Chain A
């Protein structure tokens, strides 16, 4: 019999919900039309797409025309950063514009921003976070300069799950914008937040928001950039003028339909989050009780209900990951994207961890499928694994 698999890497990706999959299926081979076609086959595809757009708009509390489908959150983040800066120059901007980001943003924000800086098209201000991983609103206020045109702060961190005060930062920028001629665009990468936090864009005071399908039990290869009416950016992908001229390319209809249904389920399954948090706390308490010399990284209070991130002194996270993987328990070190890099995670260094503490860390991210028995089993195996690896290291 195949041994049960316990998947605790839901921040990397989630399984597609069976309800979502079922909704998507007809759009592969029955309602396969191109949504730009004006015949009835095109209508069917377009209807599916527009229904999904409406589902997402309802979730975000925005207009459906403010939803732009992309290939995923990396595209949404890239597009927003490049698009805002490009628009600035296109409209005859003179002085190099300033972008403010935090030191713990996803690479999909950091890398485009650095690229612009390298090419002399923008300057970046990077805000430090405190040891809990939180951005200080005062620091945002202090960093805003005359030439600031974009602030991008992620809603919840993918590695340590820390939740930023997006609503308060949004309020601050809103107030500053009243007195400014060159309005600041406020963007948040909400990829990890969608499942668990209030993503009402009015509530958050954001002008732009990125989200992704595969982190919310939807398909891979589909994402959204929410862009408030009046926030103008240039295109990143040019061609046939889809998505109201801003994002070309034949729409990924099955993906879009799946994303719409996935977001619909997020609302329906809000009460699952209470039990996920209980299970998370059970694992945190168990680790702290049963394993000496551990530390939880990042704020416990302002944290996603499914995220656990520990450093285990005397071991290396990757070794522990492989050990657990051999027992069919799947966790991660840092973010999955960082796995090919030997460098310490920029997020962990930013909250003040040493290289050693950073390498000693492992992330567990629970999901809808996680059970109480899973947690008991994981804890049992984890204690043994850490003990064994500490014996090997002699530390």
Chain B
């Protein structure tokens, strides 16, 4: 049902786990669809120095969480905030239409974490 990349990230997710003393946190979720996604970031010199995630969700939700941490790491905040759901889906070799909302969740969570760091939330 899912691409090899999705399964790869699901089985061996990168940057998974809790982060102590993060500079920003973005949590987004919708218990109705079952996914809750939480991103922690550490920022240095306007760049995302470290990023971790905790996700309660389906295989795709876990895969998008893993892949967005890889995509965001070492990016400037301006670049990171521009990551879209399409970018994430593309990185994962495509997603079924009914799972696109998962990659949207990941993009939203990252935006939220950055805004939280910038004190805008």
Contact = CB atoms under 8 A, between A and B. Distances in A.
A342 B34 contact: yes
Q: Is the interface of B mostly helix, strand, loop or mixed?
A: mixed
Interface in A336-395: 340, 342-344, 354-356, 359-360, 389, 391-395
A189 interface: no
A318 B34 CA distance: 9
Contacts of B61: 316, 319
A323 interface: yes
Interface string B2-13: 100001001101
Interface string A84-128: 000000000000000000000000000000000000000000000
A393 B59 contact: no
Contact of A355 (B7, B32, B62, B98): B32
Interface residues on A, range: 20 to 34
A319 B58 contact: yes
Interface stretch (B49-57, B72-80, B81-89, B110-118): B49-57
Given A322-B2, A355-B34, A342 B59 contact: no
A315 B56 contact: yes
Contacts of A392: 13, 16, 54-56, 62
A314 interface: yes
B17 A343 contact: no
A175 interface: no
Contacts of A319: 10, 57-59, 61-62
B106 to A, nearest CB: 14
B12 to A, nearest CB: 10
Interface residues on B, range: 20 to 34
Given A342-B34, A355-B34, A395 B56 contact: yes
A30 interface: no
A316 B54 contact: no
Interface in B18-66: 18, 31-36, 38, 54-59, 61-62
A181 interface: no
B41 to A, nearest CB: 16
A316 B10 contact: no
A314 B54 CA distance: 11
Contacts of B11: 323, 326
Contacts of B18: 394
Q: Which 8 A-B pairs have the closest CB atoms?
A: A359-B34, A394-B54, A393-B56, A318-B58, A322-B59, A342-B33, A355-B31, A316-B34
18 contacts: A315-B56, A316-B34, A316-B61, A317-B34, A318-B58, A318-B59, A319-B59, A322-B2, A323-B10, A326-B7, A342-B98, A359-B33, A359-B34, A389-B62, A392-B13, A392-B55, A393-B36, A394-B17
